[in-house]
Chains A and B, each alone.
Chain A
Amino acid sequence: MSSSPRTSDFDLECHNITKRFGDFTAVDDISFSIPKGSFFSILGPSGCGKTTLLRMMAGFLEPDSGDLRIKGKSMVGVPPNKRPVNMVFQHLALFPMMTVEENIAYGLKRQGMPKADIPAKVKSALERISLPDAGPKRIDQLSGGQKQRIAIARCLVLDPDVLLLDEPLGALDLKLREHMKVELKQLQHNFDTTFVYITHDQSEALVMSDQVAVMNHGVFEQVGTPQELYYKPKTAFVAGFVGDTNRWSGSIKGMSGNEVQVETKDGLKLVATAADQNLAKGQNVDIFVRPESVVISRKSDALVGIENTIKGNVESVLFDGANSRVLVRDPSSGDKIMVTLPQTGEFNDLQAGQELHLGWRLAQAKCFDTLAMSAEQLADMS
């Protein structure tokens, strides 16, 4: 009958968690709950407070205020070794003085498992991460990806209610990182454990997660599925941070219903859909358009009926197979617009300097209140 879920449906809940370091508020009144067995990511630029939040879940930091519950039980004041959570550290922290086997057995021994049962449990854990023969190896004999899996197995063998991961793929090279993304998701599925994964890499978060929280300056900007964040961002920060996007800044010249007319400081007139509730005439706003929402054509008449059109010249073609893009320069404003090339083959012979017509629909252009962003954050977004 009741629509509110019972507490036990959530593996982890945070209620108004705040953490300050001196005058600086690293985590500011955050509340959320993570359903059982899901892959939950916290995505945000570096320094936004992700690690601080995660360390409060693990028990290495105590929140200044608020409550943190795991399976309905409050964890405030419970030390890390008594919490049913385990953490995969940023640099993994596999014990170098122990073999792989001993690393995995460490937690089991601490749980008081009978000595005779440990080898079998370790063996099955190694099999589940498909490294059945790694047991007697030393940590420095393992490759980066193997270490990764051992670090996860070392936690999962303890059957935690929640596994916390602090940017575990950060140290890997690009290719291995792509591979591990898929593998992590698989592991989470196999062990059926709730994962809380923090990262500053939006593609990691989008690929693996059931739910993503976008964090900035110690607060959650938006929590949702990867699709919701990508297609229905609620704030300018989310629109800019999640996925690649084109961005124009300007001020509102007129409004009718959901439609906003915006003029940029170069005099470019655009129409967009209001994505913020409280937009008003004269306000400074940002417009975001995804590269794949932009239609390109060699002739202007193919774009009739499309609300926004621009003429530009090809600056460069960024060939990447199916993800190929083209950078088009608008000669009147100097803006560079990123466009995804359609897979029809029609534009395979595109050359720098050629003239192109661009257009995008009103619904694809999202207009937000202008966000004050630091240079560092802007660099992170691109």
Chain B
Amino acid sequence: MTNKTAPKLGLILLMAPLLIWLFALILLPHVDMFMLSITEKVAPRVYETGLGNYGEFFAEPLYWNTYARTAIMSILTTIVTLVIAFPVSYYIAKMLRGRMKAVLFVLCLLPFWVSELVRTFGWMILLRETGIISTFLQWAGLADQPIEMLYTDATIVVGLVYTSMLFMVVPLVTTLESLDDSYIEAGYDLGGNGFTVMREIVIPHAMPGIVSGCIVVFMLSLGNYLTPILLGGKDSLWFTEQIYAQFITRFNWEQGAAFGFLLLILSSLIVWGGLKLSRQTLSETMG
């Protein structure tokens, strides 16, 4: 009898730090957030329980436009990051050997040595009207007046892709390295060409890495605040900005909490959709 319960107790003790962490830092704030989000301010210091904060979101086109725009741009960022990172990762994992491999890998890591703020300012120095690229283009005679490259959607995507690159490259390199060269050789030996080997062998094998990279990049982009604000300017219309505004500018915590919850639902839905589409399970991807 005691034999049966003893390992159970041990397991509970082992899991305790994890459970406390989950409970105190994730579950508790979210429960609190949820409670907050279903509280309506009807008059100063008078509160009622109801879904009014969520209703407000659907009633105001600016809110859900921003919401949809953030989702679409984040998906776009994820796709662009994948398209750039895949060849780079393949090159690092399969074509390079020894030193060069480490050098290139560190090169991907290098941007993370400076803080996101400094990195983003770096982009601003390059892209602004009086910035390096604009000046260079005028000097080279390719432009006859200063060009403003900041504050466009493309700039936001570029900044987000740059910030996310490493989080795509690492899982991709890891999965691609685990693909034995003999599978690729067998793919060619049995008559495949570069395209079919990629489609039938390399990509299916790399799928867990692709999906986990995409999830991380998507979440990071969706929840990013600094990059869209700095590179997109006042009109960047990123949803985190709305949340910030509700909490800080308007001091409307109830509305902010509702927005926060909506963002959580959005990211969960899109990740779930992505997993379904790629026929992966979360455990396969993270394992």
Interface residues of A (CB under 8 A from B): 58-60, 79-81, 86-87, 89-91, 93, 95-98, 106-107, 110-111, 154-155, 158
What residues of chain B lie closer than 8 Å to A154, measured between beta carbons? Answer: 190
Task: Considering the complex, give the chain B residue whose CB is closest to the CB of A85.
Answer: B189
User: Which residues does chain A contribute within 8 Å of B205, judged by CB atoms?
Assistant: 96-97
Contact status of A93 and B186, CB under 8 A, knowing A106-B200, A110-B196: yes
Asked if A95 and B185 sit within 8 Å, CB to CB, the answer is: no
Contact B189 A81 (CB under 8 A): yes
Instruction: Indicate if the CB atoms of A60 and B185 lie closer than 8 Å.
Output: yes
Q: Are A91 and B189 in contact (CB under 8 A)?
A: no
Contact for A87 among B180, B186, B192, B196, CB less than 8 A:
B186
Q: How far is the CA of A81 from the CA of B191 in the complex (A)?
A: 4
Cβ contacts under 8 Å, A91 to chain B: 180, 182
Is there contact, CB below 8 Å, between B189 and A97? no
Determine chain B's interface SS by DSSP, over half rule: helix
Question: What's the Cα separation between A107 and B193 when bound, in Å?
Answer: 11
The chain A residue sitting closest to B191, CB to CB, is A110
| Nearest-Cβ distance from residue B206 to partner chain A, whole angstroms | 10
Known: A89-B182, A90-B182. A95 touches B189 (CB 8 A): no
Residue of B with least CB distance to A87: B189
**CB-contacts of B202-261 with A (<8 A):** 204-205
Q: How far is the CA of A95 from the CA of B202 in the complex (A)?
A: 10
Is B183 an interface residue, CB under 8 A from the partner? yes
A106-B200, A110-B196 known; A93 vs B182 contact (CB < 8 Å):
yes
Instruction: Check if A95 sits within 8 Å of B201, measured CB to CB.
Output: yes
Task: Give residues 156-200 of B contacting A (CB, 8 Å).
Answer: 180, 182-183, 185-193, 196, 200
Q: Which residues of A sit under 8 angstroms from B196, Cβ to Cβ? A: 110
Q: How far is the CA of A86 from the CA of B186 in the complex (A)?
A: 9
Contact B204 A80 (CB under 8 A): no
Whether B182 pairs with A155 at a CB distance below 8 angstroms is no
**Contact of B191 with A95 in the complex, beta carbons under 8 Å:** no
Of A58, A60, A86, A93, most B-chain CB atoms within 10 Å: A93
Q: Are the CB atoms of B180 and A81 closer together than 8 Å? A: no
Cα distance, A93 to B180, chains bound together (Å): 8
Q: A106 and B182: CB pair below 8 A?
A: no
Contact between B182 and A95, CB atoms less than 8 A apart: no
A89-B186 contact given A110-B196, A158-B191, CB 8 Å threshold? yes
How far does the Cβ of A146 sit from chain B's closest Cβ, in whole Å? 17
- Whether A107 pairs with B190 at a CB distance below 8 angstroms is yes
**If the complex has contacts A81-B192, A155-B190, A158-B190, are A89 and B201 also in contact, measured as CB distance less than 8 A?**
no
Tell which of B189, B193, B201, B204 touches A86, judged by Cβ atoms closer than 8 Å: B189
Question: Contacts A89-B182, A90-B182, A91-B182 hold; do A97 and B201 have CB atoms under 8 A apart?
Answer: yes
